[in-house]
């Protein structure tokens, strides 16, 4: 799954001094989520190499003729276009969502393409986590509502992964709230 709990709380032990955002303590739960990458860089090299070889098949009989120079620019343009759009897909997929939960604070930081950052913060006591099975841009749309705003979480995840994330996040929020 393209998300992981870097810090996860599994139970709410009695704590004399509960961790606090304002005191500068580490979060009790931290989640990192990113888009699934179906083509790793090693596969990218293989696809470009295979495309080059397949484009060369119809060009081999034309070697030494004038027709080669008429077809070669189109073949190279197709190869360059494939390279460009796969690279663009990599750049657009550089999304990281970091959710940090303290008993008294919650922060969602979304780092998008071109390192553009968006931050949402709220008190977890007032935060509600909702999953919208059909309403929303994607199936099982996951949102956090609090501090007067509604933010999406993991819109790039598969529709089967979002309910699992919803359940784990619900448990994390309940346990974090119980530490107050």
Q: What is the pLDDT of residues 56-86, one digit of tens each?
A: 999 999 999 999 999 999 999 999 999 999 9
Q: How far apart are alpha carbons 119 and 141 in whole angstroms?
A: 19
- Confidence at 92, pLDDT banded by 50, 70, 90: confident
pLDDT reading at 11 higher than 60: no
Instruction: Please check whether residues 160 and 81 belong to one and the same domain.
Output: no
Structural tokens at position 26: 């580490």
- Confidence at 12, pLDDT banded by 50, 70, 90: low
Instruction: Please check whether residues 103 and 31 belong to one and the same domain.
Output: yes
State how many domains the chain has.
Answer: 2
Q: How far apart are alpha carbons 180 and 158 in whole angstroms?
A: 33
Structural tokens at position 69: 């120079």
By residue range, what is the domain housing residue 116?
Answer: 3-35+96-178
pLDDT reading at 151 higher than 60: yes
Q: How far apart are alpha carbons 17 and 180 in whole angstroms?
A: 9
Burial 33-54 (b: 16+ CB within 10 A, else e): bbbeeeeeeeebeeeeeeeeee
Instruction: Please check whether residues 73 and 129 belong to one and the same domain.
Output: no
How far from the centroid of its chain's Cα atoms is residue 134's Cα? 21
* Model confidence, pTM: 0.76
Domain harbouring 169, CATH code: 2.30.29
The mean per-residue pLDDT over the stretch 128-143 comes to 86
**Phi and psi at residue 169, to the nearest 5°:** -70, -35
pLDDT reading at 24 higher than 90: no
């Amino acid at each position: 799954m393209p998300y992981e709990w870097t810090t996860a709380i599994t139970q709410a032990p009695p704590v004399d001094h509960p961790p606090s955002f304002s005191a500068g303590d580490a979060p009790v739960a931290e989640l990192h989520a990113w888009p699934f990458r179906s083509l790793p860089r090693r596969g990218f090299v293989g696809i470009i190499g295979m495309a080059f070889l397949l484009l060369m098949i119809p060009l081999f009989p034309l070697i030494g003729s004038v027709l080669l120079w008429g077809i070669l620019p189109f073949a190279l343009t197709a190869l360059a276009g494939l390279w460009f759009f796969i690279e663009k897909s990599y750049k657009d997929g550089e999304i990281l969502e970091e959710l940090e939960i303290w008993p008294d604070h919650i922060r969602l930081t979304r780092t998008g393409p071109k390192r553009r950052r968006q931050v949402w913060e709220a008190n977890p006591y007032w935060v509600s986590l909702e999953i919208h099975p059909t309403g929303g841009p994607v199936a099982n749309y996951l949102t956090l509502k609090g501090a007067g705003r509604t933010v999406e979480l993991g819109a790039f995840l598969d529709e089967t992964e979002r309910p699992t994330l919803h359940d784990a996040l619900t448990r994390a929020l309940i346990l974090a709230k119980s530490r107050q």
